[in-house]
Amino acid sequence: MRATQATVNLAALRHNLSVVRQYAPHSKVLAVVKADAYGHGLLRATPGLEDADGFGVLRLSEALALREAGYSQTLLLLEGVFSADELMAAAEHAISIVVHNEQQLQMLEQAAPQLQHPLQVFLKMNSGMNRLGFRPDAFLAALERLGACSAVKSDIVLMTHFATADDERGVAPALDIFLRGTAGLSYPISLANSAAVLRHSTAHHDWVRPGIMLYGASPVTGVAAASYGLQPVMQLTSEVIAVQELKAGETLGYGARFTAEDEMRVAVVACGYADGYPRHAPNGTPIAIDGRISQTLGRVSMDMLFADLRHLPQAGVGSKVELWGQTVPVDAVAEASGTVGYELLCAVAPRVPFKVVG
Amino acid at 94: A
| 166 CA to centre of own chain | 14
Cα separations (Å) of 88 from 6, 102, 117, 170, 184? 37, 18, 9, 38, 33
CB-CB contact of 309 with 243 (8 Å): yes
Report the half-sphere exposure of 353 (CA within 13 A, side-chain side): 6
Is 215 known to be catalytic?
A: no
d(CA 13, CA 18): 9
d(CA 51, CA 55): 10
Catalytic residue among 34, 124, 215, 342: 34
Work out the widest C-alpha separation in the chain, in whole angstroms: 78
SS3 labels along 11-62: HHHHHHHHHHHHHCCCCEEEEECHHHHHCCCHHHHHHHHCCCCEEEECCHHH
Q: How many C-beta atoms lie closer than 10 Å to residue 257's C-beta?
A: 15
Is 38 known to be catalytic?
A: no
CB-CB contact of 233 with 11 (8 Å): no
Amino acid at 288: A
Q: Return the H-helix or E-strand segment holding 268.
A: strand 264-269
d(CA 155, CA 201): 23
Q: According to DSSP H, which parts of the chain are helical?
A: 10-23, 34-38, 42-45, 60-68, 84-92, 102-111, 136-147, 172-181, 194-199, 330-336, 341-346
Q: Looking at the chain, how many residues does it have?
A: 358
Catalytic residue among 71, 228, 247, 254: 254
The DSSP code for 282 is P
User: Which residues are known catalytic residues?
Assistant: 34, 254
